[in-house]
Each structure stands twice: as C-alpha cells, then as structure tokens.
C-alpha cells in the first residue's frame, strides 16, 4: 500500500497512517514548510518506510513521477495551518503576541503578508477581506489599513491587529492578559485568514491539486480532506460531488465529520474542522 500525507505538519496523521500500513506499506510525506519536514523526520525516525518531500501538494503528480510511482491507495490533506506554525510568533500567522507580517508556509517564497498589507490598493484589500476572509467589515478594515500605512509601514502582527481593533473602537487584547474578550471571535481573525490565503494561494492550490490527485488514485483508493473554513470546504464538497455524479467516485461522508465535544475540549482548534472522504470507484461500478 502506498499512502500520501500531503500536509505533514506535526506528523500526527503520518504517524497514525504508518501504524496501519507497516511493514509492507510506504508513506510519501509532503509539506511545503521545510521546518515541518525536519520536524517530521525526527518524529518518524523509527520508520524506514517514509519518503520526505519538501513541496506543495499541488505538485503531487510531479513528485510521484520523480519517485516512479504511478498511482497510490490513499491521500490525506489537512489544509490550513498547523499548530506549530500558528504558535511560532516569528512566522507571523497569529495576532496574539508580536511577530513580523510574514505568513509564508514556504519560507523561501518572495511574497509576504507585509507586501499585501502595505502595497495593495484599498479596493483590492477590501475585495480580499470580503472574498477570502468572508469579512463583513472589509471596507472599514481596508480603509483603516490604508490610513495607518500613510504614516508608517505596517510591520508586525501586533501593528495590524491594533489597527483592526482601533477601527472598531476597541482595544487590542494582549496575549495571556487574563481579560475576557468582548467578541466571540477576535476582530482580526478573518483579516489574518484572508492574508494567509492570499500569500500562500491556498484556495488555488487546493483547486489545482484535487484533480491531479484523483488521476493518481487506484480503484478503491480514498482521498480524505480536512478543512477549517467554508471556502476550503466548499471546494472539496463540490469536487467530491462532481466525481460522484460522473460515477467516478463514491462519497463516504454524506455529511462532513466534525470533532466531538471531548475532542474540542482537548483541542479547541478542532472546533471548525470538517472531514470529507471520497473513494475512487472500480471500473465495473461506473
């Protein structure tokens, strides 16, 4: 059996997969984040059945060609941020604490969130926040950012979070201050989401990757995708339904699988996770 973890992250899924497929099976572990690859090599050092590749899952077809692998039995994508990325302040993904406005999953890429925040015209920022952040206050936030950057460049995550909060007439909550936030969600949450999606072309990568992955699946093989916001989930849902309508695939999750209350209590970040799974149909079943 050949399985692919297209988003190695903290190697939790990879470890669980290996427990099921060894000793005969093989795992191809991808991540565009070099730090995740190095971390995974240490966590999975007991397994010789793993091949580590630093690349975006949108290039899985080329990766498999390089490895002389034509098709695979299973692929899992856990799209979005890993906990390690979110918690490392210097990566710039979080509005808690202070770090540079970076947000690159591939740290060798040229384009950062600082470039977007300081260079995009107001109209383009507004469109980004509305479309990729599903942000109701898109115009207000875009206008506030453009006003602030006229005085000086916006350099850090704290700078940006404070601009968003001030535009609403509230104070930015300090990390671990013990104060209760008056909103259910921090006002900067969706702005940071939109910037991260833009910097890493996350939606484009997912749309491009799914058809490529499907072409390399064996009959009976399964594709599992975990998404964390509606934009990603919509892409996955529509693509899976398309395969089922054409009788190429069988959706195994009529409704997305979500975390239980116990799981959310142990890992609050799982509250928005949705898992969908589709199986490649056998030729005779089409």
The predicted structure's pLDDT at residue 184: 62
pLDDT band at residue 138 using 50, 70 and 90 as cut-offs: very high
The residue out of 156, 178, 200 marking a domain boundary is 200
Same domain, yes or no, for 206 and 78?
yes
Range(s) of the domain holding residue 155: 89-200
Residues 120-142 have a mean pLDDT of 92
Measured distance CA(171)–CA(179) in Å, rounded = 11
Same domain, yes or no, for 167 and 227?
no
Measured distance CA(31)–CA(106) in Å, rounded = 9
Same domain, yes or no, for 180 and 106?
yes
Same domain, yes or no, for 34 and 93?
no
Measured distance CA(137)–CA(152) in Å, rounded = 23
Same domain, yes or no, for 161 and 249?
no
Same domain, yes or no, for 273 and 213?
yes
Whichever domain contains 170, its CATH number is: 1.10.150.170
Same domain, yes or no, for 189 and 212?
no
- Peptide bond between residue 137 and the one before it cis (omega within 30 degrees of 0): no
Q: What's the predicted TM-score (pTM) here? A: 0.89
Same domain, yes or no, for 196 and 206?
no
Q: What is the DSSP letter of 100?
A: B
Whichever domain contains 51, its CATH number is: 3.40.50.150
Same domain, yes or no, for 238 and 154?
no
Same domain, yes or no, for 96 and 171?
yes
Q: Is the pLDDT of residue 283 over 80?
A: no
Number of domains in the chain: 2
The residue out of 179, 200, 221 marking a domain boundary is 200
Same domain, yes or no, for 186 and 280?
no
Average pLDDT, rounded, for the chain: 91
Q: For residue 130, how far is the Cα from the chain centroid?
A: 19
pLDDT band at residue 285 using 50, 70 and 90 as cut-offs: low
The predicted structure's pLDDT at residue 171: 63
What are the distances in angstroms from CA 92 to CA 12, 40, 88, 171, 215?
23, 21, 8, 20, 35
The predicted structure's pLDDT at residue 46: 95
Residues 78-102 have a mean pLDDT of 86
Same domain, yes or no, for 77 and 216?
yes
The residue out of 154, 184, 200 marking a domain boundary is 200
């Amino acid at each position: 059996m050949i399985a692919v973890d297209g988003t190695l992250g903290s190697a939790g899924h990879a470890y669980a997969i290996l427990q099921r497929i060894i000793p005969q099976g093989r795992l191809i572990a991808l991540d565009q984040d070099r730090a995740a690859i190095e971390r995974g090599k240490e966590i999975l050092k007991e397994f010789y059945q793993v091949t580590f590749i630093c690349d975006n899952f949108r290039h899985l077809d080329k990766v498999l060609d390089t490895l002389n692998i034509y098709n695979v039995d299973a692929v899992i994508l856990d799209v979005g941020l890993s906990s390690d990325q979110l918690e490392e302040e210097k990566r710039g993904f979080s509005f808690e604490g202070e770090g540079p406005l970076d947000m690159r999953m591939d740290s060798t890429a040229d384009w950062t969130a600082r470039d977007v925040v300081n260079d995009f015209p107001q109209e383009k920022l507004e469109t980004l926040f509305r479309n990729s952040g599903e942000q109701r206050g898109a115009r207000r936030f875009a206008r506030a950012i453009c006003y602030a950057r006229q005085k000086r460049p916006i350099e850090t995550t704290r700078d940006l979070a404070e601009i968003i909060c001030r535009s609403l007439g509230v104070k930015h909550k300090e990390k671990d201050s013990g104060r209760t936030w008056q909103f259910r969600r921090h006002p900067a949450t969706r702005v940071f989401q939109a910037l991260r999606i833009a910097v890493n072309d996350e939606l484009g990568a997912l749309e491009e990757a799914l058809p490529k992955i499907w072409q390399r699946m064996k009959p009976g093989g399964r594709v599992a995708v975990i998404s964390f916001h509606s934009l990603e989930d919509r892409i996955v849902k529509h693509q899976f339904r398309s395969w089922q309508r054409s009788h190429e695939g069988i959706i195994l999750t009529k409704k997305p699988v979500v975390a239980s209350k116990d799981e959310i209590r142990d890992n609050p970040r799982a509250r928005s996770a949705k898992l969908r799974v589709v199986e490649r149909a056998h030729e005779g079943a089409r």
